[in-house]
């Protein structure tokens, strides 16, 4: 029989997990495997808040994709996917097109703007390495402007959305503020950090004791939280915010920086390719294929599965994306070998750890509550585990959070 062609789109957590498993489970003569990603490198999306705040250098959170590929089995193409022609079994790239027998879509997410005016122009979302680098540079430029013009707006930073991304960023940022103030010779009292959150409860899905711990820690570090308040408009020099219940007139906060961390939607390629979706995410079958398209798998942030316990989609996380990569690879191996009994994906929820900066965190891991240093160490374990699962020990030694040799 002719060799089957498997094309994987996206080299994030889901895509790289799929490919590194496939290359272990298939012989070179059994299938042609092609991985397509818009950069030659993989970045740790889960570390991007650290780059954005200036704690980690951009190159620290990324590595060359070829490093983890078996080149006898996988061909890597650096290219940007434009659209998937799902009925013609082909993918259109910025340069050229490619056909497939089996397709894995693991293109991740885009920032969700909810159509709010001005966000596309003035909101800074933590989406990839380049965006994270721009955030860090933007904040520094603003601090530099303050030294020239002394206008407080330059040292006012608004964070829209207190989900895990917003919280993790605030943890890093508040740790960096003393360094930035020192560098630009600005008194720390001049800095304003405001987090605007639509929900009236702080981290509602989280354990109360831990959520309260995080809230008071960040407040102590200088963050003002406006709960039950929405960002309604972004401007060049500030944001318009208002109470969610309309109790007071919306008003403007003058600010040089707006970090937008109010949630994500599936990659725009999904919508552009005409898949049935909710906020850019496709509800996939339990075997991770797209309904009506048995040769297309969709995993990670651009897909969803309903959690039967609460009838809501599982939240998009690296944890679930990586687990889906494992199932997806196994199902592809079955298809290549002509077996029809695809396995269902079952999420094994190991818990969540939310960083509050370098040395603090909160988390629930295997049902156990953690906070402070213990949680912070656990967060580094989780970060290194992701490296290990994709690139083994050598990648952990090169990129890991624990310094083994220093």
Position of minimal CB gap to ligand NAD: 163
Write out the residues near ligand FAD by the rule CB under 6 A.
Answer: 10-15, 36-39, 42, 45-46, 48-49, 80-81, 106-108, 126, 165, 168, 267, 269, 300-301, 316-319, 321
168 is catalytic: yes
Which CB sits closer to ligand NAD, 79 or 263?
263
Catalytic residue among 32, 44, 50, 168: 168
Residue 5 interface partner, choices ligand FAD, ligand NAD, none, CB cut-off 5-8 Å depending on type: none
Residue 231 interface partner, choices ligand FAD, ligand NAD, none, CB cut-off 5-8 Å depending on type: ligand NAD
Q: Which stretch binds ligand NAD (CB under 6 A): 2-10, 132-140, 303-311, 313-321?
A: 313-321
Number of C-beta neighbours around residue 51 at 10 A: 27
Output the smallest distance, CB 232 to ligand NAD, in A.
7
Output the smallest distance, CB 310 to ligand FAD, in A.
18
58 binds ligand NAD (CB under 6 A): no
Which CB sits closer to ligand FAD, 104 or 158?
104
Token match 């109470």: residue?
243
Q: Which stretch binds ligand NAD (CB under 6 A): 57-65, 87-95, 154-162, 174-182?
A: 154-162
Query: How are beta strands 4-9 and 124-125 bridged, if at all?
Result: unpaired
CA pair distance 288, 305, nearest whole angstrom: 9
How many residues bind to ligand NAD according to rule CB under 6 A? Answer: 25
DSSP assignments along 4-37, one per residue: EEEEEE--SHHHHHHHHHHHHHS-TTTEEEEEEE
119 binds ligand NAD (CB under 6 A): no
CA neighbor of 313 nearest in space, from 267, 365, 266: 266
315 binds ligand NAD (CB under 6 A): yes
Q: Which residues of 315-338 are buried (b: 16+ CB within 10 A; e: fewer)?
A: bbbbbbbbbbbbbbbbbbbebbee
Output the smallest distance, CB 254 to ligand FAD, in A.
26
Entry field: residues in the chain = 406
Residue 13 interface partner, choices ligand FAD, ligand NAD, none, CB cut-off 5-8 Å depending on type: ligand FAD
Residue 43 C-alpha from the chain's centroid: 10
CA neighbor of 21 nearest in space, from 293, 336, 307: 336
Residue of 20, 23, 55, 165 that binds ligand NAD (CB under 6 A):
165
* Close Cβ partners of 63 (under 8 Å, ≥ 6 residues apart): 41, 42, 391, 395, 398, 399
Output the smallest distance, CB 337 to ligand FAD, in A.
25
Output the smallest distance, CB 226 to ligand NAD, in A.
9
CA pair distance 44, 59, nearest whole angstrom: 11
Token match 């687990």: residue?
323
Position of minimal CB gap to ligand FAD: 12
CA pair distance 160, 178, nearest whole angstrom: 22
360 binds ligand NAD (CB under 6 A): no
Which CB sits closer to ligand NAD, 199 or 294?
199
Which CB sits closer to ligand FAD, 46 or 229?
46
Q: Is the dihedral of CA 280, 283, 286, 290 positive or negative?
A: negative
196 binds ligand NAD (CB under 6 A): yes
CA pair distance 391, 227, nearest whole angstrom: 41
Q: Which two tokens stand for residue 216?
A: 């008071």
Annotated catalytic residues are 168
Q: Which residues bind ligand NAD (CB under 6 A)?
A: 116, 160-166, 168, 196-199, 230-231, 261-264, 315-317, 352-354
């Amino acid at each position: 029989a002719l060799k089957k062609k498997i094309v994987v789109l996206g080299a994030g957590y889901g895509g790289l997990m799929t490919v590194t498993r496939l290359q272990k489970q298939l012989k070179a003569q059994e299938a042609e495997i092609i991985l397509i990603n818009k950069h030659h490198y993989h970045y740790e999306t889960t570390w991007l808040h650290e780059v954005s705040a200036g704690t980690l250098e951009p190159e620290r959170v990324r590595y060359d994709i070829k490093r983890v590929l078996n080149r006898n089995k996988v061909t890597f193409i650096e290219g940007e996917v434009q659209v998937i022609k799902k009925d013609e079994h082909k993918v259109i790239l910025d340069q050229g097109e490619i056909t497939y027998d089996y397709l894995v879509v693991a293109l991740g997410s885009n920032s969700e703007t909810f159509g709010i005016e001005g966000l596309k122009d003035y909101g800074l979302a933590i989406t990839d390495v380049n965006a994270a680098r721009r955030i860090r540079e933007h904040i520094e430029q603003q601090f530099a402007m303050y030294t020239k013009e002394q206008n407080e707006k330059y040292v006012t930073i608004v964070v829209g959305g207190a989900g895990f991304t917003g919280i993790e960023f605030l943890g890093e940022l508040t740790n960096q503020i003393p360094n930035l103030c020192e560098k630009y010779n600005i008194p720390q009292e001049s800095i304003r950090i405001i987090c605007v959150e639509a929900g009236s409860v702080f981290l509602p899905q989280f354990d109360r004791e831990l959520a309260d711990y995080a809230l008071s820690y960040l407040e102590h570090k200088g963050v003002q939280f406006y709960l039950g308040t929405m960002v309604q408009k972004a401007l060049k020099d500030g944001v318009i915010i208002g109470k969610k219940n309309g109790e007071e007139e919306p008003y403007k906060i003058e600010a040089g920086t707006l970090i937008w961390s109010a949630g994500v939607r599936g990659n725009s390629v999904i919508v552009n390719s005409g898949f049935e979706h909710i906020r850019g995410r496709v509800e996939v079958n339990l075997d991770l294929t797209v309904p009506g398209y048995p040769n297309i798998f969709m995993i990670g942030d651009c897909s969803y599965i309903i959690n039967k316990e609460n009838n809501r989609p599982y939240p998009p996380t690296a944890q679930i994306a990586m687990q889906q990569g494992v199932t997806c690879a196994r199902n592809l191996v079955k298809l290549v070998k002509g077996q029809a009994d695809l396995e269902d994906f079952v999420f094994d929820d190991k818990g969540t750890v939310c960083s509050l900066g370098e040395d603090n965190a909160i988390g629930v891991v295997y049902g156990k509550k953690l906070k402070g240093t213990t949680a912070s160490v656990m967060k580094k374990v989780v970060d290194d585990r992701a490296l290990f699962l994709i690139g083994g020990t050598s990648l952990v030694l090169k990129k890991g959070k624990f310094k083994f040799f220093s």
